[in-house]
Structure 1
């Protein structure tokens, strides 16, 4: 398949920014575009299943220079037993080369890529591989997966776009997220905990003290956004952050059936205000 040339990953851009985040207004614009992307693939009956900043690429506003790939690394493909490869197996693989951007390029339009974890709404898998810190509660508790996983991950990704970090953190064991769900979002259904203990998903009650460093969602947004910055340099004010908190509260809900649908999110002030700003420009 031959696809259009895209620019850098959003994750690569934020890694070069102070506090690992975009300017507030640009973050708001990109989160709105992500919502549109999810709405489109949903109309095709598809769930992305792996939304995070590494799978969001900027479109190129214009090729000021043609990127070269002379330094690309090639790897020969061969069978371990030395026998010939089967028909259709490539002779070599090319290591991905990331487009190197500079400050002269306008990066404000994005595309959602990498559908390796995607599934049709009517045929969900038993599990998906996505960054552990972004695991939705239904994946943590081993419940059936639905299209609501994209809503959860959109919420977490929007949070990261604005604040520079994910709302939850886990590396080796996604069950470490459960106390954080309780502290940040206000609770996990007791029945979920009891069912997880009976099924062996949990071996003991989650330790609430493991989330001592976390705040409620709204408090954390306010604190994380202003952290290390002179308030006069911030382009989102407290009202904007309150609107963001309201928006994320509609997505970051432990029970997937209670999360907002795409139509509701499209009409939320966080998205509507941004759409109006784009029209004025």
Structure 2
């Protein structure tokens, strides 16, 4: 579930030397699969298997003393099928199309400056709409370790996208991030895997908007954060009731709107009440505002939803059922 470096080489070009790592190709990121779909949903068995693998991968990283630091759907890739490695370049071109060269030109007709390539190559699409992904195809790679770090580095700045960034990165900016910061982002990613939309939504959102989303969904912030949040009076009363300018959407509302209703509309199976409750029981401790109160990956793997629903679906893939 983690990419292996198969080879390395150095490119000597007009802009200097660049060391390149060769890894196995992947089909697409999970976010790309959703972007390629009108439905933006995975089949329930596929969603379970994807979530299980992601937790296993993060558990592996944490067990070796590292924090990923940038967990989101764009950094979880769908593996290429084993048959892909057997294709010759000609067969790849026949199946997916030959490379398309797009010329790079100056809009004013001037010559290109040194170091600028004469053309670019559009990437081929190896993915499929999210709802078309089958269980045997649902194997993942957790990638992009550019933000990974060891707790010994005492890193306190998070570059995770705002919609999945843990709140302590804002309210305790001088406190070193820990494994628990990954747990918050992991919970956001699991939600997006099983849902049509993200739990905390906001296009070009600000920090204040995201904090409002957190409080809407999870309740009042820890007292010292609540007092320091300057925009709180514009959004909530002192006791946490939303103002008229802030329509309230609870955890239950979001599950119905983003998980159940979209599945009902396209005629796919829904999560039954027992499984829904197990999902809630697993995710809520992962979304504890205080980092020290969040679940560990070991505890997540021992949760009812993982044991009863998610891990068994991954086991079917592993055994080739």
> TM over 0.5, yes or no?
yes
Query: 1:60 & 1:233 partners in 2: Cα distance?
Result: 26
Query: 1:228 & 1:96 partners in 2: Cα distance?
Result: 32
Q: How far is 1:276 from its partner? A: 2.5
Correspondence for 2:41? 21
Correspondence for 2:154? 124
Q: Verify the 8 A CA contact 2:196 2:262 in the aligned structure 1.
A: no
Query: 2:137 & 2:97 partners in 1: Cα distance?
Result: 20
Q: Verify the 8 A CA contact 2:76 2:142 in the aligned structure 1.
A: yes
1:279 and 2:309 are equivalent in the alignment: no
List aligned pairs for 1:87-236, cutoff 5 A: 97=123, 99-102=125-128, 107-143=137-173, 144=175, 145-170=177-202, 171-194=204-227, 196=228, 202=230, 205=233, 207-208=235-236, 209=242, 212-230=246-264, 233-236=268-271
Query: 1:148 & 1:104 partners in 2: Cα distance?
Result: 31
SS of the aligned residue for 2:141 comes to strand
CA deviation digits over 1:115-138, x for unaligned, max 9?
122211221323122221112111
CA deviation digits over 1:99-121, x for unaligned, max 9?
42356985300011111222112
Q: How far is 1:70 from its partner? A: 2.4
SS of the aligned residue for 1:8 comes to strand
**CA shift in 2, pair 1:203/1:98, >3 Å:** same
Correspondence for 2:22? 2
Structure of greater Rg: 2
1:55 and 2:75 are equivalent in the alignment: yes
Query: 2:36 & 2:247 partners in 1: Cα distance?
Result: 26
Q: How far is 1:49 from its partner? A: 1.1
Q: How far is 1:179 from its partner? A: 2.2
Query: 1:26 & 1:222 partners in 2: Cα distance?
Result: 20
1:46 and 2:66 are equivalent in the alignment: yes
Correspondence for 2:18? none
SS of the aligned residue for 2:27 comes to coil
Q: Verify the 8 A CA contact 2:78 2:141 in the aligned structure 1.
A: yes
Query: 2:31 & 2:24 partners in 1: Cα distance?
Result: 20
Q: How far is 1:239 from its partner? A: 1.9
Q: How far is 1:244 from its partner? A: 1.1
Correspondence for 2:292? 257
Q: Verify the 8 A CA contact 1:15 1:21 in the aligned structure 2.
A: no
CA deviation digits over 1:142-165, x for unaligned, max 9?
432222111001111111111111
Query: 1:72 & 1:121 partners in 2: Cα distance?
Result: 44
1:71 and 2:100 are equivalent in the alignment: yes
Q: Verify the 8 A CA contact 1:136 1:153 in the aligned structure 2.
A: yes
Q: Verify the 8 A CA contact 1:74 1:92 in the aligned structure 2.
A: yes
- Identify the range of structure 1 (169-178 vs 133-142) with the bigger mean alpha-carbon deviation: 169-178
Query: How many residues of Structure 1 are paired with residues of Structure 2 in the alignment?
Result: 266
Query: 2:167 & 2:151 partners in 1: Cα distance?
Result: 18
Residue segments in structure 2 that go unaligned for 5+ positions in a row: 1-20, 105-113, 237-241
Q: How far is 1:251 from its partner? A: 0.7
**CA shift in 2, pair 1:122/1:184, >3 Å:** same
